Amino acid sequence: MRKLTPSHAKIAEAEMRIENVEDRVQNIEQVLSKMIKVMNQQENKLLDQEGRSRRENLRIYNVPEGAEGPSMVEFVQKLLRETLEAPPTTELGIERAHRALAPRPLGDREDKPRSIIIRFLHYTTKEEVLRKAWGKKNVFLNGRPIYFDQDYPPAILQKRKDYSEAKRVLKQRNIRFQTPFPAKLRVFYKDETRLYQTVVEATKDMKDRGLPVTDITPRESLAEQLSRSAWDTVGAGQRGTGVERERNIREKLRAFRRQGSSSTGEELYFLTKVVS
């Protein structure tokens, strides 16, 4: 038998390097998977803390820019007492009030004013104001409808906005619904009441009920992306021995020898050296 040629040695070295790379990739994927899990836990904790820090806050939407005059706090106090019929003796306990921290809308966006954020000294006062506002079917300021809502963190607000189409369809069909915190949808059907945890679950069930709503495709999480793109490799215990290993090496040899002539004895000699 002829000795192992330089080409065969390079293939053997490449095989070893590929195995090392596969091992490293698998280790990196495992570490990354754990890091994603920890990151998700930390994001949930941070979101919870942000939500708690906004418990005393309330937002008013669609109040025209500049309507507040020189003092936002005085404007809000007057607005709440007049629109919600709060007695003059009721202490509102407004700590501060201001517009949302965004550039003032100009041009075509002037009809979309920034929301007003109000912070109360007491959570119970804020809840009572919201209860009265929601109890009134419509609240107007100089003939313009205004809306009261919780001050949600941006991440929660986006999840709640995802229900927009579902809520639009429910309104068209005069089906009563609620949006419990943080981002759920409770629908009062004639035969039952359903509480949906996600917009994907809501749109799927609504479509099954014959409502004209578009199915929402769930966003792929980082963990799902990692799982989908994971590198499928042979187990470490299967490498270096076995018929499958020899077959793979033979295939690589055949692909490498594009010139044609090859010796069976030479291949066996190479396999013996690599597999042993």
Could you read off the pLDDT of 60-84 as tens digits, one per residue? 999 999 999 999 999 999 999 988 8
Whether the predicted pLDDT of 259 surpasses 80: no
Between 7-16, 29-38, 216-225, the lowest mean confidence (pLDDT) is in 216-225
Mean pLDDT confidence for 245-265 = 54
Structure-token pair, residue 240: 């270096």
Mean pLDDT confidence for 191-218 = 89
pLDDT score of 273: 46
Q: Provide the pairing of β-strand 185-188 with 144-150.
A: unpaired
Structure-token pair, residue 186: 């409770």
Sign of CA dihedral 235, 237, 243, 248: positive
Cα distance between residue 183 and residue 161, in whole Å? 9
Count CB atoms within 10 A of the CB of residue 270.
23
Whether the predicted pLDDT of 255 surpasses 70: no
Between 18-22, 77-81, 91-95, 219-223, the lowest mean confidence (pLDDT) is in 219-223
Residue 163 phi, psi dihedral angles, 5° rounding: -85, 5
CA distances from 134 to 35, 123, 149 (A): 42, 16, 9
Which structural domains are found in the chain, ordered by start? 6-48+235-275 (no CATH), 57-151 (3.30.70.1820), 163-215 (3.30.250)
The answer to pTM > 0.75 is no
Cα distance between residue 148 and residue 134, in whole Å? 7
Q: Provide the pairing of β-strand 177-178 with 139-141.
A: unpaired
Structure-token pair, residue 229: 């793109």
Sign of CA dihedral 150, 155, 160, 161: positive
Mean per-residue pLDDT over the chain, rounded: 82
pLDDT score of 100: 94
- Which of 105, 102, 121 is closest to 113 using CA atoms? 105
